[in-house]
Structure 1
Amino acid sequence: MSPNPSAAHRLAAAMPEPLLARFARQRLPAGFLVSAPRAKPDRILMLREGRIRVFVANEDKELTLAYLVPGELFSTHTGAYLRCERECELLSMPTAEFARSMGNEPGMLGLIMPVLGRILDHSIALIEDLAFRDVAGRLARFLLVAARQGSRVPQGVQVTLDLSAGEIAQLLGATRQTVSSLLKRMEREGLISRPARHQLVILQPEVLRRWQEGEAAEAA
């Protein structure tokens, strides 16, 4: 799943060509560290292709805040690291120049704010997860959020997940093994089915909501 990509796609489609032309373009390999905390110079980045992981880290641990999808903007003026998870095409512009450009394109602000707000929303949800939910509860919440973008099928709600178990684990502050084990348990207990790669059907959302509130361990 790419969380709420529609706003990003609208932003990319609405970006005026003269403004796009002022961005510098780069093609970067998977694993490339795009930006680190207190990076200079301060830039606005727009992802055109690929996927970028936004995370915070210290000497012992990394915590993923979000994955940027094509069309999304981010600033290097944060305390986060940005790394290409896949080969990327990236546009960049000095922040001051971008701010001046926005003054000439007032309609763009309404498209930019939802994209930037998604990162903040996920960061707040991650803090709540780490403070109040075990890994099973975090995974249940993740799937319930994904279901909002899913499509109804006779068995339930079908969701496309283009994140691997390892990438989901990074978003949840867990290990890949734990997430894989929990997904298998959900499938075994009839909460979900996985009819194809990158496809998941949520069969019992009411049970996932109970897991979200901490009942998974009690039922184990």
Structure 2
Amino acid sequence: MKFSGINLLDELQRTELADLRDVFNSRRVKKGAIIFSPDQEENLVFIVEKGRVRIYLGYEDKEFTLGILEPGDLYSTHAGCFVQALEDSSLLTTDVQSVKRCMVEIPLFNRTMVRVLGKILQNSFSVIGGLAFKDIYARLAAYLLKEAQVSGIPVDGGFELELDLTIEQLSQILGATRQTVSTLINNMVREGLVVKRARSKWFVPDLKALEDVVNS
């Protein structure tokens, strides 16, 4: 599922926006690379063209993921977060002045920016609340529950979902170690809360059971 729900790449393919497309420059990045950091002076807006990037906060040796952007999603580098490529990716970047022009000519830019930043803010509160009030097991259950509710496919009385995340990436989202998350997932499998069907593909047989873990 897209982070913003709107694909700006499709909009930029419109014939009448050919001149507007020219203000964007393509930037390729390798998997794992830190593309932007809070201390960089570049003040850009970018659209994910290919791949996926992670938006996160870092403090000492801890990282807290606020969102994962997919092709068509929009973000601004002045938000004070780290931006990391989860896989080989490419971004369409432009300066703030050009974005102001985009906002005038394409109202969709405004709505998309508001949606993405609003979602980042919502996820920030979710991260803070999870760290303050939930243990890691409950945070993992809450993450799987949300993914099943938002992007799961109803199958056999439950929901099938594709996380498309490694254990390491999932641990970064949850603010836990890789070993801890791996152990907890195995516990969930033994308890029948989730079933692994293939690489990155999972089946949640009973949403209520996950809800009980979250609310316990």
Give the TM-score of the pair, scaled to structure 1.
0.88
Letter in 1 for 2:161: V
The Cα of 1:22 is off from its aligned counterpart by: 1.1
AA at the equivalent of 2:136? V
Question: Secondary structure of 1:41's match?
Answer: coil
2:213 aligned to which of 202, 211, 214: 211
Alignment of 1:1-220 (within 5 A): 3-5=1-3, 7-8=5-6, 10-15=7-12, 16-148=17-149, 149-213=151-215, 215=216
Change (3 A) 1:107 1:36: closer
Amino acid at match of 1:18: D
Deviates more, 1:97-106 or 1:161-170: 97-106
Q: Following the alignment from structure 2 to structure 1, what is the Cα–Cα distance between the partners of residues 54 and 75?
A: 11
Calculate percent identity across the aligned residue pairs: 34
Native 8 Å contact 2:3 2:69 kept in 1: no
Structure 2 contact 194–204 (Cα < 8 Å) conserved: yes
User: When the two structures are aligned, how many residues end up with a matched partner?
Assistant: 211
Q: State the shift of 1:205 in Å.
A: 1.4
SS at 1:7 equivalent: coil
Report the residue type matching 1:191 in the other structure.
L
**Offset of residue 155 of structure 1:** 4.1
Q: In 1, distance between residues paired with 2:140 and 2:50?
A: 27
* Amino acid of the structure 2 residue aligned with 1:120: L
Q: TM-score, normalised by structure 2?
A: 0.89
Counterpart residue identity of residue 182, structure 2: S
> Following TM superposition, by how much is the alpha carbon of 1:108 offset from its aligned partner in structure 2, in angstroms?
3.4
Q: Where in structure 2 are there 5+ consecutive unaligned residues?
A: none
Q: Distance in 2 between matches of 1:136 and 1:58?
A: 22
Partner secondary structure for residue 79 of structure 2: coil
Residue range with higher mean Cα deviation, 29-38 or 137-146: 29-38
In the alignment, residue 58 of structure 1 is paired with which amino acid? Y
Greater mean deviation of Cα atoms: 132-141 or 175-184: 175-184
Q: Distance in 2 between matches of 1:50 and 1:65?
A: 17
Q: CA deviation at 1:87?
A: 1.3
Distance 1:203 1:160 in 2: 14
What are the Cα deviations for residues 148-197 of structure 1, in whole angstroms up to 9, with x where unaligned?
Answer: 21111114111111011111111111111111111111111111111111
The amino acid of 1:7's aligned partner reads G
1:5 is displaced (CA, Å) by 4.4
Moved over 6 A (4+): none
Q: What is the CA deviation profile of residues 195-214 of structure 1, one whole-angstrom value per residue up to 9, with x for unaligned ones?
A: 1112111112112111112x
CA distance in 1, matches of 2:184, 2:93: 39
CA RMSD of aligned residues (A): 1.8
